Amino acid sequence: MLWLVLWLLPSVVHAQEIPQPVQEEIRRRGMTVEEARREAERLGIDLSNPEQAAQRARELGVPESQIQELLQAVQEAQQEQERGAVTPETRPISGTTPEVLETMPAPAVTEQPVVEKETAPGPKRPVVDIDVVDPATQLPYFGYDIFENIPDAFKPNQLGPVDDQYLVGPGDELRLMVWGATEFAYDLTVDREGRIFVPSVGQFTVAGKRLDVLREELKRWLARSYSGLLEDPPTVFMDLTVARLQPVYIYALGEVKQPGGYVIASQSTVFQALYAVGGPKISGSLRDVRVVRGGRVLAHVDLYDYLLRGEGREDVRLQNNDQLFVPPRGKTVAIRGQVRRPAIYELKENEGLRELIQFAAGLKPEAFTRYVRIERIIPFEQRQDPSVVREVITVPLEGVLDGSRQVPLYDGDRVEVLSVLDVSRNGVYISGAVVHPGLYEITTQVRTIRDLIERAGGVTSDVYEAVSSSCASNRIRPSDRLRCRSPLVIQTTWPSWKKMVTLDLSRILLGDPEHNLTLQPGDRIRVYSELDVNVPRTVTIEGKVRKPGTYALRDSMTVYDLLFLGGGLFDEEFRKEVYLERADLIRKAEHGTEEIIIPFNLAEALRNEGAGRALLQPGDRIRVYPVDVQEIREKFVTISGAVKNPGRYRLQENMTLEDLILRAGGFTEDALLDWAEVTRLPKGADPERFEQLAVRIEVPMAEDIDDVEAVSFALDDTTRALRGARTFRLQHRDRVYIRSNPAFRPQQTVTVTGEVWYPGTYTILRENETLADVLQRAGGVRPTGYLKGTRLIRGGLPVVIDMERALRRDPRHNVILLPGDEIRVPPKPGTVVVRGNVRRPGLVKYVPGRRVGYYIERAGGLDEDSKVILVTQADGGTYPVYLGLKGWFQRDPVVDEGAIIEVVRKPPEEKRQVTFDIGKTLTDIASIAASTLTIIALARRL
For the cut 90, the answer to whether the pLDDT of residue 540 exceeds it is yes
pLDDT: is 94 or 343 the higher one? 343
Cβ-contact 389, 486 below 8 angstroms: no
According to the model, what pLDDT value does residue 621 have?
92
Region 571-586 average pLDDT: 89
Pick the range with the lowest mean pLDDT from 122-136, 186-200, 351-365, 770-784. Answer: 122-136
Closest CA to 901 of 864, 879, 874, 872: 872
b/e 663-682 (16+ beta carbons within 10 angstroms → b): bbebbbebbbbbbbebbbbe
DSSP state of 246: P
Pick the range with the lowest mean pLDDT from 225-229, 378-382, 463-467, 666-670. Answer: 463-467
Strand blocks (E) in 213-295 = 236-244, 248-254, 260-264, 289-293
In DSSP terms, which residues pair with 607 in a beta bridge? none
For the cut 70, the answer to whether the pLDDT of residue 684 exceeds it is no
Cβ-contact 338, 417 below 8 angstroms: yes
For the cut 70, the answer to whether the pLDDT of residue 91 exceeds it is no
**Order of strands, edge to edge, in the sheet holding 578-588?**
549-552, 538-543, 621-626, 578-588, 595-600
- Interatomic CA distance for residues 624 and 586, integer angstroms: 11
Phi-psi sector, 412: left (phi>0), alpha (psi -120 to 50), beta: left
For the cut 50, the answer to whether the pLDDT of residue 481 exceeds it is no
For the cut 50, the answer to whether the pLDDT of residue 56 exceeds it is yes
> What pTM was computed for the model?
0.39
Whether the bond between 161 and the residue before it is cis, its omega within 30 degrees of 0, is yes
In DSSP terms, which residues pair with 865 in a beta bridge? none
pLDDT: is 16 or 661 the higher one? 661
Pick the range with the lowest mean pLDDT from 163-177, 276-290, 600-614. Answer: 163-177
Cβ-contact 397, 405 below 8 angstroms: no
Helix segments in 261-364, DSSP class H = 270-276, 304-309, 353-359
For the cut 70, the answer to whether the pLDDT of residue 484 exceeds it is no
For the cut 60, the answer to whether the pLDDT of residue 542 exceeds it is yes
Residue type, position 487, single letter? P
Rounded percentage of the chain residues whose pLDDT exceeds 70: 70
- Rounded to 5 degrees, φ, ψ at 146 are -65, -20
According to the model, what pLDDT value does residue 311 have?
74
According to the model, what pLDDT value does residue 120 have?
36
Which residue pairs from 787-790 have beta carbons closer than 8 angstroms and sit at least 24 positions apart in sequence? 787/825, 788/874, 788/875, 788/896, 788/897, 788/898, 789/825, 789/826, 789/828, 789/829, 789/874, 789/875, 789/896, 789/897, 789/898, 790/754, 790/823, 790/824, 790/825, 790/826
pLDDT: is 32 or 569 the higher one? 569
According to the model, what pLDDT value does residue 53 have?
56
- Interatomic CA distance for residues 845 and 898, integer angstroms: 10
Q: How far is CA 742 from CA 546, 672, 785, 871, in A?
A: 47, 9, 42, 49
Residue type, position 616, single letter? L
Binning pLDDT at 50, 70 and 90, where does residue 23 land?
Answer: low
Whether the bond between 233 and the residue before it is cis, its omega within 30 degrees of 0, is yes
The mean pLDDT value of the chain amounts to 75
For the cut 90, the answer to whether the pLDDT of residue 624 exceeds it is yes
- Interatomic CA distance for residues 449 and 456, integer angstroms: 11
Region 582-598 average pLDDT: 79
- Which element (helix H / strand E) includes 232? none
Region 280-302 average pLDDT: 90
Residue type, position 710, single letter? A
Region 506-516 average pLDDT: 86
For the cut 70, the answer to whether the pLDDT of residue 78 exceeds it is no
According to the model, what pLDDT value does residue 650 have?
85
Region 324-329 average pLDDT: 93
- Strands 184-189 and 195-198, sheet pairing: unpaired
- Interatomic CA distance for residues 626 and 633, integer angstroms: 12
Closest CA to 173 of 115, 218, 102: 115
DSSP state of 634: T
Highest mean predicted confidence (pLDDT) among 154-158, 345-349, 774-778, 849-853: 345-349
Rg (CA), the chain: 42
Residue 335 three-state SS: strand
For the cut 60, the answer to whether the pLDDT of residue 613 exceeds it is yes
Region 900-928 average pLDDT: 60
According to the model, what pLDDT value does residue 354 have?
92
- Strands 791-794 and 371-377, sheet pairing: unpaired
- Interatomic CA distance for residues 245 and 265, integer angstroms: 7
Residue type, position 110, single letter? T
HEC letters along 684-706? CCCHHHHHHHCEEEEEECCCCCC
According to the model, what pLDDT value does residue 291 have?
92
- Which element (helix H / strand E) includes 491? strand 489-494
Cβ-contact 886, 876 below 8 angstroms: no
DSSP code string of 867-919? EEEEEE-TTS-EEEEEB-TTS-BS--PBPPTT-EEEEEEPPGGGG--TT-HHH
For the cut 70, the answer to whether the pLDDT of residue 630 exceeds it is no
According to the model, what pLDDT value does residue 340 have?
93
- Interatomic CA distance for residues 343 and 334, integer angstroms: 6
- Interatomic CA distance for residues 511 and 506, integer angstroms: 9
Q: Nearest 10 degrees: CA dihedral of 314, 316, 322, 327? A: 30
Rounded percentage of the chain residues whose pLDDT exceeds 90: 17
According to the model, what pLDDT value does residue 414 have?
92
- Strands 524-527 and 489-494, sheet pairing: antiparallel
For the cut 80, the answer to whether the pLDDT of residue 411 exceeds it is yes
Pick the range with the lowest mean pLDDT from 332-341, 417-426, 781-790, 921-930. Answer: 921-930
Q: How far is CA 107 from CA 84, 191, 465, in A?
A: 20, 9, 86
For the purposes of burial, counting CB atoms within 10 Å of the CB of 41, is it exposed (0-12), middle (13-18) or buried (19 or more)?
A: exposed
CB atoms < 10 A from the CB of 426, how many?
18
* Cα end-to-end span (Å), the chain: 22
CB atoms < 10 A from the CB of 38, how many?
13
Residues whose CB is less than 8 angstroms from the CB of residue 725 and which lie 6 or more positions away in sequence, other chains included: 656, 657, 658, 661, 676, 699, 701
Binning pLDDT at 50, 70 and 90, where does residue 102 land?
Answer: very low
According to the model, what pLDDT value does residue 593 have?
59
- Interatomic CA distance for residues 662 and 719, integer angstroms: 12
Cβ-contact 245, 267 below 8 angstroms: yes
According to the model, what pLDDT value does residue 295 have?
85
Highest mean predicted confidence (pLDDT) among 34-43, 298-307, 699-708: 298-307
Binning pLDDT at 50, 70 and 90, where does residue 592 land?
Answer: low
Closest CA to 620 of 691, 574, 563, 688: 563
Pick the range with the lowest mean pLDDT from 308-317, 385-394, 835-844, 914-923. Answer: 914-923
Pick the range with the lowest mean pLDDT from 41-50, 202-211, 419-428. Answer: 41-50
pLDDT: is 85 or 338 the higher one? 338
Strand blocks (E) in 567-617 = 578-588, 595-600
According to the model, what pLDDT value does residue 279 have?
85
According to the model, what pLDDT value does residue 482 have?
32
DSSP code string of 415-455? EEEPBHHHHHHHEEEEEESBSS-EEEE--SS--BHHHHHHH
In the chain, what is the greatest distance between 2 CA atoms, to the nearest angstrom?
126
- Interatomic CA distance for residues 26 and 88, integer angstroms: 40
Region 582-588 average pLDDT: 89
According to the model, what pLDDT value does residue 80 have?
56
- Strands 289-293 and 323-326, sheet pairing: antiparallel
Q: What are 831-873's pLDDT values in tens digits?
A: 999 998 888 888 899 998 898 889 988 888 888 888 888 888 8
Phi-psi sector, 733: left (phi>0), alpha (psi -120 to 50), beta: left
Q: Measured on CA atoms in the order 646, 648, 649, 651, is the torsion positive or negative? A: positive
According to the model, what pLDDT value does residue 34 have?
64
- Interatomic CA distance for residues 252 and 95, integer angstroms: 11
According to the model, what pLDDT value does residue 268 have?
78
Binning pLDDT at 50, 70 and 90, where does residue 29 land?
Answer: low
Region 921-937 average pLDDT: 48
Counted residue by residue, the chain has a size of 942
Helix segments in 705-787, DSSP class H = 715-725, 771-777
Region 225-253 average pLDDT: 86
According to the model, what pLDDT value does residue 817 have?
87
Residues whose CB is less than 8 angstroms from the CB of residue 585 and which lie 6 or more positions away in sequence, other chains included: 559, 597, 598, 599, 600, 611, 614, 620, 621, 622
Region 617-639 average pLDDT: 79
